[in-house]
Amino acid sequence: MDRRASTLATVLAAAGAVWGAVSYLVLWGYTSIVVTRSFVDTPVGLFALFPTRAVLFGIHVVEDHVLGHPFHLPEGSGWIGVVSAVVGSALLVAPLGLAAGVAALVRRRHPPAPDLGIRVAEVDAPEHGIGLVDGMGEPH
């Protein structure tokens, strides 16, 4: 991975972590922002709170389909905020990784065209502009 892609991945990971952490803080009431059920159910609310809602959905699935009963979570729910930050990072970095993987697959399936010995060169006379030259460097 080149330096620009690495920097982009780092920035996206940090932004995703902030997104996840803020969504947790808002839903748990640690901010002055008050959300209502009607906001949470809108597309904007879904997007804004998605990392924490995804974590809560995961907890719900495990409770219903794996354990068969609710978790007995202690008072401290800070771990949900940490997991929400990780989920937010993953949501923003994953498309970058997917794009890199697709680009690598395309490069592997479609290698560069072979060199046919045809070169583009500028001809001495300006009125001729750009022209083709053969392998010996002679204009055509």
Q: Report the SS3 class of residue 139.
A: strand
Q: At residue 136, does pLDDT exceed 70?
A: no
- pTM beyond cutoff 0.85: no
Q: What is the pLDDT of residue 120?
A: 64
Q: What is the pLDDT of residues 45-74, one digit of tens each?
A: 999 999 999 999 998 888 888 877 777 766
Q: What is the pLDDT of residue 4?
A: 86
Q: What is the pLDDT of residue 112?
A: 72
Cα–Cα distance measured from residue 112 to residue 97, given in angstroms and rounded to the nearest whole number = 23
Q: What is the pLDDT of residues 79-115, one digit of tens each?
A: 899 999 999 999 999 998 898 888 888 888 877 777 7
Where residue 22 falls among pLDDT bands split at 50, 70, 90?
very high
CB neighbours (10 Å) of residue 1? 11
SS3 content of the chain, % helix, strand, coil (to 5): 65, 5, 30
Cα–Cα distance measured from residue 93 to residue 46, given in angstroms and rounded to the nearest whole number = 19
Mean pLDDT (the chain) is 82
